[in-house]
């Protein structure tokens, strides 16, 4: 069997998906012997030995059937991994689920990240073939950057040693943007530079200490958000965020509003600020709030298509209902 390797999306470390698959299957077996596990799954031969030895692998359907057979709540795992696509899984099975996870990512990009061919991806998405477990893991990571989270939802990632450290490091760098909001700006600044030792330049751009920037970059390297590439550093990026708690959101919002206030006190050339105090109907206020959401969706679209990166920008908006008459009784 061809060994499946790949760079997890949002990681700088080469991942052996065959090894990860073997460890997942070993974790599913638990304390049972390989023979007992094989028999429990309905096989006469010792397929567990072949799976764990990497001589062959079950496809996605057989893997999930094995998980269900040993007591894993597969539906709950799918819900926990990616709630928005769980309905697709329930109604359309694996192909519909994969299509939902793919979203707008081009098939060619998915194939390149997963180390497979475009026709292979097409067959899996159309349900004409069922990917073996290593290919499924590579595919999930290519589409979402979260194969480790899927394993964690299914069996607990700490039972898969080859994946556990990568997931811990990835989680650390994602948490970093809440614990230290300047990390997001450091990442953005790195994307504008080609420098093997960029800490000093980034610090000067953002008005931070070189030591602080260097420490943030080190965490990002360990977490795979940044990799050394030739004569510089490449920002890989992470597509899925760790869900924040309420305190996280307040901390980040306060930070960036504070940065904006500082710039109001000492504006730089090109800074823009506007405000409007107005009286409107409740319905029109709702339209304004929706307009703010549409604005940020369009903004993200512009950012995604903007290349090469040249500057780092901060954009904030805050819509507040200052005073209102009580709503009429119904």
Q: What is the pLDDT of residues 132-184, one digit of tens each?
A: 999 999 999 888 878 888 999 999 999 999 888 777 777 777 778 788 899 98
Flag whether 322 is in a domain. Answer: no
How many whole angstroms separate alpha carbon 188 and alpha carbon 177? Answer: 12
Same domain? For 196 and 287 the reply is no
Flag whether 173 is in a domain. Answer: no
The pLDDT, as a whole number, for residue 156 is: 93
Flag whether 323 is in a domain. Answer: no
Same domain? For 231 and 250 the reply is no
Q: Which positions ≥6 away from 230 have C-beta within 8 Å?
A: none
Question: How many domains does one find in the chain?
Answer: 3
Is residue 58 within 8 A of residue 133, CB to CB? The reply is: yes
Same domain? For 146 and 219 the reply is no
CATH number at residue 228: 1.10.10.10
Flag whether 312 is in a domain. Answer: no
Is residue 72 within 8 A of residue 153, CB to CB? The reply is: no
Same domain? For 125 and 261 the reply is no
Flag whether 286 is in a domain. Answer: yes
Is residue 312 within 8 A of residue 189, CB to CB? The reply is: yes
Q: Which positions ≥6 away from 131 have C-beta within 8 Å?
A: 59, 60, 120, 124, 139
Is residue 184 within 8 A of residue 163, CB to CB? The reply is: no
How many whole angstroms separate alpha carbon 309 and alpha carbon 311? Answer: 6
3-state SS, residue 214: helix
Q: Which two tokens stand for residue 161?
A: 């040693």
pLDDT digits (tens, 9 = 90+) for 179-210: 889 998 998 899 899 888 999 999 999 999 99
Is residue 205 within 8 A of residue 189, CB to CB? The reply is: yes
Flag whether 264 is in a domain. Answer: yes
The pLDDT, as a whole number, for residue 12 is: 45
Flag whether 171 is in a domain. Answer: no
Same domain? For 16 and 138 the reply is yes
The pLDDT, as a whole number, for residue 2 is: 53
Same domain? For 14 and 151 the reply is yes
How many whole angstroms separate alpha carbon 10 and alpha carbon 227? Answer: 10
How many whole angstroms separate alpha carbon 21 and alpha carbon 180? Answer: 35
Same domain? For 212 and 265 the reply is no
Flag whether 310 is in a domain. Answer: no
Among 7-21, 124-138, 141-155, 248-262, name the one with the lowest average pLDDT. Answer: 7-21
Q: Which two tokens stand for residue 322?
A: 């200052």
The last residue of one of the domains, among 235, 255, 281, is: 235
Same domain? For 20 and 156 the reply is yes
Peptide bond before residue 237 is cis, with ω within 30 degrees of 0: no
How many whole angstroms separate alpha carbon 131 and alpha carbon 121? Answer: 9
What is the span of the domain harbouring residue 261? 246-305
3-state SS, residue 58: coil
The pLDDT, as a whole number, for residue 241 is: 45
The last residue of one of the domains, among 165, 194, 211, is: 165
Same domain? For 79 and 119 the reply is yes
Same domain? For 10 and 128 the reply is yes
The last residue of one of the domains, among 165, 193, 225, is: 165
Is residue 105 within 8 A of residue 143, CB to CB? The reply is: yes
> What is the 8-class DSSP label of residue 6?
E
How many whole angstroms separate alpha carbon 138 and alpha carbon 152? Answer: 15
Same domain? For 271 and 147 the reply is no
Same domain? For 41 and 102 the reply is yes
Tell whether the model's pLDDT for residue 220 goes beyond 80: yes
């Amino acid at each position: 069997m061809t060994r499946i390797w790949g760079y997890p999306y949002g990681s700088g470390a080469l991942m052996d998906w065959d090894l990860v698959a073997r460890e997942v299957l070993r974790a599913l077996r638990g304390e049972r012997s390989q023979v007992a596990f094989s028999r429990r799954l309905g096989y006469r031969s010792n397929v567990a030995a072949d799976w764990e030895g990497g001589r062959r692998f079950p496809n996605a359907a057989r893997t999930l059937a094995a998980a269900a057979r040993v007591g894993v709540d597969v539906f709950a795992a799918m819900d926990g991994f990616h709630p928005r696509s769980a309905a697709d899984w329930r109604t359309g099975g694996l192909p519909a689920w994969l299509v939902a996870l793919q979203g707008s990512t081009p098939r060619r990009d998915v194939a390149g990240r997963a180390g497979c061919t475009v026709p292979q991806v097409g067959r899996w998405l159309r349900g004409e073939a069922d990917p073996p477990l290593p290919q499924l893991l590579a595919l999930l990571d290519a589409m979402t950057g979260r194969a480790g989270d899927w394993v964690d939802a299914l069996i607990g990632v700490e039972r898969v040693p080859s994946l556990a450290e990568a997931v811990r490091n990835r989680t650390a760098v994602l948490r970093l943007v809440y614990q230290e909001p300047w990390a997001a700006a450091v990442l953005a600044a790195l994307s504008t530079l080609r420098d093997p030792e960029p800490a000093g330049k980034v610090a000067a751009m953002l008005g931070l200490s070189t030591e602080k920037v260097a420490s943030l970059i080190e965490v990002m390297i360990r977490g795979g958000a940044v990799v050394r590439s030739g004569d510089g550093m490449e920002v890989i990026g992470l597509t899925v965020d760790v869900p924040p708690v309420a305190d996280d959101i307040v901390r980040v919002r306060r930070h960036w509003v504070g940065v904006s206030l500082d710039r109001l006190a000492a504006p730089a050339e090109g800074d823009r600020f506007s405000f409007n105090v107005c009286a409107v109907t409740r319905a029109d206020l709702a339209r304004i709030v929706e307009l703010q959401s549409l604005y940020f969706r369009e903004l993200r679209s512009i950012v995604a298509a903007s290349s090469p990166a040249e500057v780092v920008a901060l954009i904030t908006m805050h819509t507040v209902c200052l005073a209102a008459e009580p709503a009429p009784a119904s």
